[in-house]
Amino acid sequence: MIRKILFASVLMLGAPAAMAAACSVDIEGNDAMKFNVANIDVSKSCKDFTINLKHTGQLPKVAMGHNVVIAATADIKGIDADGIKAGAAADYVKAGDSRVIAHSKLIGGGESTSVTFPVAKLGAGPNSFFCSFPGHSALMKGTITVK
């Protein structure tokens, strides 16, 4: 009986931290143009979700910059094309692009950034996360799914 009570107490104490951790994820991008994750699962219980991006490479952002852009999977090519025109000063994301759910700033080797967005904006999907630095989205992309 004491064991059951103790186990239940541990579960109750651990629950808030687990719920808080479920509303964010840490991902990495490197100089080989790869993210370390291929899918991000977002709990439908989260109001907002945060993606923390760390660039684990050495190269500066002018040569190998990375960001994370969240959008409907079908919109990646169009967002990429418009992002190239917008340039590095705009983090390779066209200003006011309604197709973009959220995006981080562009970072170089050794830097980190975060982006937080309302989970409700993900809608029914399918949605993806990707890097909009020119040419990177071919390799640096994955799915983001509300579960």
Task: Summarize pLDDT for 43-54 with one digit per residue, the tens.
Answer: 999 999 999 999
pLDDT-above-90 percentage for the chain: 83
Q: 87: which 2 tokens?
A: 């340039």
Q: What is the pLDDT of residue 12?
A: 39
Per-residue model confidence as pLDDT tens digits over 54-109: 999 999 999 999 999 999 999 999 999 999 999 999 999 999 999 999 999 999 99
Average pLDDT, the chain: 88
DSSP strand pairing (112-118 vs 127-130): unpaired
Count of Cβ atoms closer than 10 Å to residue 86 Cβ: 16
pLDDT of residue 14: 40
Whether cis (ω within 30° of 0) applies to the bond prior to 118 is no
Query: Distance of CA 43 to CAs 4, 59, 67, 99, 101, Å?
Result: 28, 34, 23, 22, 17
| pLDDT, position 124 | 84
**Tokens found for residue 134:** 């020119």
Rounded distance between C-alpha atoms, residue 79 and residue 70, angstroms = 10
pLDDT tens for 30-41 read: 999 999 999 999
Structural domains in the chain, CATH included, are: 23-146 (2.60.40.420)
Place of tokens 């993806």: 128
Return the pLDDT at 6: 37
Per-residue DSSP letter, 86: H
Enumerate the β-bridge partners of residue 69: 103, 130
Q: What is the mean pLDDT of residues 120-140?
A: 95
Hey, what are 90's tokens? 């705009």
Q: Does the pLDDT of residue 15 top 50, yes or no?
A: no
Bridge partners (DSSP) listed for residue 116: 50
123 confidence band (pLDDT: 50, 70, 90) = confident
